[in-house]
Chains A and B, each alone.
Chain A
Amino acid sequence: MNYQFNWSVLWSGQSGGWLLRGLGTTLALSGLAWLVAVALGIVSGAMRTVPWKPLRVVATFYVEFFRNVPLLVWMFFWYFGVPPLLPLAIREWLFDHGAEFWAGMFALGVYHGARMSEVIRSGIQSIPKTQFEAAVAIGLTTFQAYRLVIVPIALRLIVPPATSESLNLLKNSSVALTISVAELTFQTRQIETYTARAIEALTAGTVIYLGLCVGIATIMAHVERRFAIPGLIARGG
């Protein structure tokens, strides 16, 4: 490959500022979407295990519908499909206030909520049934049993797969560039536009994603150790 690398394009001119702004948008987008995903995931994951069929049906429908359609399609759905359903005044206001960001956030959050739901359901189903029965036996309602016993235990069990899912969410946030959200990957392309240096810009983006993900994984490894339930999780090493 006869390519002359010129790394200085990454810190000369506006490139550095763009990368930082892109990183900020990626973090805001992923952070908010993560909150939506976790909330939806816990609720629908729990609903899929309750002893009442209508709730299970609703939750199953949500999970299968949202996780089995590509994320890109959801991005277009929330950006192009939803606004026409809103009243004109709200639509115009949204278009003036970063509609693409919110569309991207919902697309990511709702899609990953469906995937998170499966992680949480598997956590709940790995808890012996007797725990739930014991909770109900001491007088808790089903809702209380889930809120006080089942879900807290499940959350402590699912840290490793939930971390994986969260990292996926962070990386998938780059799909939002298709609806013009100026996140990190978008900004690496921006640098390419101004400098015609695509390989350097993409490398910078790769290194930042890698750094972010390794950082999050390291933090989550600590969380996992701190919240592991003694006796329930075999500790390796």
Chain B
Amino acid sequence: MRRILAGLLTLGLPLSVVSPALAQQSTLEKIGQSGVLTIGTRTASPPFAFVNKQNEWVGFSIDLVEQGVKPAIERKLGKPIKLEKKESTPPTRIPLLSSNAVDLIAGTMTDTRTRRESVDFSLTFFVTGAQFLVKKGSPIKSIDSIAGKRVAAQQGSTNARIIRERVPTAKLQEFPDQPAAFQALVQGQVDAYTNDGIQLYGLKAKAPKPDDWVVVGDFFSYEPYGMAMRKNDSDFRHAVNVGLMELIESGKYFELYDKWFGPKSETPYPLTAENKRFLIMQVVPK
């Protein structure tokens, strides 16, 4: 046994000694060298990032990167870059960033204080809150009526955490991805599925029979979405923020908002005056 342990230690030690020695290259330098901006995003979180019927990887978050962040980085570097997309899920997105596999998380990640201890966030590009998706006619109306009920959530989301703290009697079942959780709701394994309101609308719109499902309850959480990046890289963070600010300032952001959340889109989600003002006020002067 002791020999096994010694073997493991000799295997592990060099790794831990070597890793801090690797050169710390800034993200902008890395992108400049490779000519590629790699983002971690989602494949099944409509309308932020998903694979559509034409098998294209699209969405609101991806548009923000393509039309705002990427041009801002290109201007900063003085040369064109390519955009590469990788799938990232709640449990994998921070490791993907810290291992340099991706440079930016642009999906549906809520900015939280705990997460800010591990990664840095851009300014907030979307505001939503958690609600419930239930079958039409369900007795579940809000977070006050889920005691003793079976509730599905997406693992790694902030909503599951709030339910566990506020309604410990609810039977919480956490799935790694949205399709499995929704399937459980369709078949009755669970009585409700909780996620950020806008994602539930997205899911409902994509369901075979959208009218069978309703999104209920007031927001029981505050979910400001931000783009996450490696910590302590303020030049890159600034470039990302400049990209987002320019989108908001030029009005392009609101065009994109209308494309994905407007009345004619699949997931109408009106931008409240309050949220619009909040977005605009994040833009600092030139």
Q: Are A95 and B189 in contact (CB under 8 A)?
A: yes
Question: In the bound complex, what is the Cα–Cα distance between A83 and B184 (angstroms)?
Answer: 11
Could you tell me which B residues sit within 8 Å of A by CB distance?
1, 4, 19-20, 22, 24, 90-92, 94-95, 98-100, 112, 114-115, 117-119, 150, 152, 155-158, 160-161, 171, 173-176, 180, 183-184, 187-190, 230-232
A21 at the interface (CB under 8 A from B): no
Known contacts: A79-B189, A214-B4. The answer to whether A1 contacts B98 by CB under 8 A is: yes
Task: Spot the interface stretch: A47-55, A153-161, A185-193.
Answer: A185-193
What B residues does A193 contact at CB under 8 A?
A: 90-91, 155-158, 160-161
What A residues does B160 contact at CB under 8 A?
A: 193
Known contacts: A2-B230, A180-B174, A196-B94. The answer to whether A84 contacts B187 by CB under 8 A is: yes
Could you tell me which A residues sit within 8 Å of B by CB distance?
1-3, 76, 79-80, 83-84, 91-92, 95-96, 99-100, 177-180, 182, 186, 189-190, 192-199, 202, 214, 218
What A residues does B189 contact at CB under 8 A?
A: 79-80, 83, 95, 99-100
How many Å from the CB of B162 to the closest CB on chain A? 11
Q: Which of A95, A96, A177, A195 has the most CB of B within 10 A?
A: A95
What A residues does B94 contact at CB under 8 A?
A: 192, 196, 198
Q: Are B156 and A192 in contact (CB under 8 A)?
A: yes
Question: In the bound complex, what is the Cα–Cα distance between A190 and B176 (angstroms)?
Answer: 11
How many Å from the CB of B277 to the closest CB on chain A? 30
Q: Are A91 and B188 in contact (CB under 8 A)?
A: yes
What B residues does A179 contact at CB under 8 A?
A: 175, 180
Question: In the bound complex, what is the Cα–Cα distance between A194 and B157 (angstroms)?
Answer: 9
Q: Are B232 and A2 in contact (CB under 8 A)?
A: yes
Question: In the bound complex, what is the Cα–Cα distance between A168 and B189 (angstroms)?
Answer: 28
Selected from A76, A178, A196, the residue in CB contact (under 8 A) with B114 is A196
What B residues does A79 contact at CB under 8 A?
A: 184, 189
Selected from B1, B91, B98, B174, the residue in CB contact (under 8 A) with A3 is B98
Question: In the bound complex, what is the Cα–Cα distance between A99 and B231 (angstroms)?
Answer: 41
Q: Are A178 and B180 in contact (CB under 8 A)?
A: yes
In the assembled complex, 16 residue pairs joining A and B whose CB atoms fall closer than 8 Å, in A order, are: A1-B22, A2-B24, A76-B180, A83-B189, A95-B150, A95-B190, A96-B150, A177-B155, A182-B174, A186-B174, A190-B174, A192-B94, A192-B156, A193-B91, A193-B161, A196-B114
